Amino acid sequence: MLVQLAVVFSDYYWNVGELSRLYVEQETERLSAGVSVDHGSIRYTLPENVADRYRQDGSGYLARIRGADGTLVFDSCDVACEDRFLPKDIDRPDFWLRSLEAGRPLSLVGGRAFLISGQRFLIDVATLGDPQDVVSDVLLNEIIEHLIVPMSILLFLVLGATLLSVRQALRPVRNAADAADRIDPMDARSHLKFDEMPREIAHLAVAVNQAFERVAELMTSQKTLTTGIAHEIRTPLAVMKLELGHIDHPRARMVEADLDDLVRFVGQLTTLARLESFDHGAFETVDLVALSASAVEQMAPWVYENHHSVELITVGEPAIVQGVPALLRDAIRNLVENAVRHTPASSHIIVRVGPGHIEVEDRQSSIVGTAFTAVKADSLGIGLKIIARIAEIHRGELRRSLSASGSVFTIVV
């Protein structure tokens, strides 16, 4: 469009004959705007856009308007008009033009016939050197009317159609992006559907699906690795503990206790590694109340053996969530086990279950108080990391707070 504008401008600017014709056409049209016919009475008012050129003598511009019968309607010249314009007693053409001097600036005389309110008027104009550079306005008007306006409309239509076309073409890309946002990287069943996608976008979807398949393979490999590590480590530890059982000495019992702690620690590490590669495709409907009751029932004998008590309280309506029963049960057992190991004897452990949450509170004896919990709770370490990771897998979180007599850990799912 810019190149076309430059070409058209250059063509008009250097074509003096065409500019002269356009000058006569546009200048006579401006002058014709002042003619009015009211019940046969002809009136003329000089338009404001040309008034400064035709109200004063010696301005370099001449004009004359006559009716079809030769009646003078307006003129801005004297004898000069008779010398340059066509005589009134000849049969005037509808358009005429004569150049007074060749080249630029323009010096010309010409005229044009107009039909206004059913009457014919002859308008003649002349310029001697174009001192006000009217030809620039003529050129600008021609470019605006015949180039800029049509090309602007075309530009609007082309840009509109282009935007609509691009938007329509990229709609599958947008749908694929939305689908990608909804993909769960921990779910091996998550894939992008590329059945209705264009071929180019389908290649991208296939590549993404292949990447997720690779992730699923890595998750499976990691599960196999962690299971192998647990098996290889637990076996020699069990053999060591068995051998220590044949030694009747207090130090052997101390080593056995250390081995038990080591076995538990290795199990926690293995569990944490397995959680990092967990697949969300194993989710199912879980009743938190029934699950918590089962976990508390299994832990109750061990809790009582360690001189603590445990209580299950259900709050509100049945708590149904999507999750993995084994992981949620492990989280409850770990919280209860931590409460037993890190609180003084005779503490009371309360498990509260409600819609979307599982809460474990330890109520300690008044002798030790909350200071004991504040010091010991920091040593929970990897156990709490496992519980927090289980909560994250279920798109929740683990919250910790202090009560009047102990600590409160809440799993929000």
Output DSSP code: residue 50: H
What does pTM read for this prediction?
Answer: 0.44
Predicted confidence (pLDDT) at residue 377 exceeds the cutoff of 50: no
Predicted confidence (pLDDT) at residue 223 exceeds the cutoff of 50: yes
Give the helix/strand (H/E) hosting 75: strand 72-75
Q: Across the chain, what does the average pLDDT equal?
A: 81
Q: In whole angstroms, what is the distance from residue 74 CA to residue 56 CA?
A: 14
Least confident of 130-134, 245-249, 273-277: 273-277
pLDDT single digits (tens) 274-320:
666 566 666 788 888 888 899 999 999 999 998 899 999 988 777 78
> Are the folds of 2-144 and 283-412 the same?
no
Contact 195, 242 (CB under 8 A): no
Query: The domain 283-412: what is its CATH number?
Result: 3.30.565.10
Contact 65, 56 (CB under 8 A): no
Query: The domain 2-144: what is its CATH number?
Result: 3.30.450
Contact 407, 340 (CB under 8 A): no
pLDDT single digits (tens) 38-60:
887 888 888 888 888 887 666 78
- Residue in 354, 355, 351, 356 with CA at minimum distance from that of residue 395: 356
The pLDDT assigned to 161 comes to 92
pLDDT single digits (tens) 169-218:
788 778 777 877 777 666 666 677 777 777 777 887 788 888 878 877 77
The pLDDT assigned to 318 comes to 73
Domain boundaries, the chain: 2-144, 220-276, 283-412
Q: Where do the DSSP E strands lie in 76-194?
A: 95-101, 107-116, 119-128
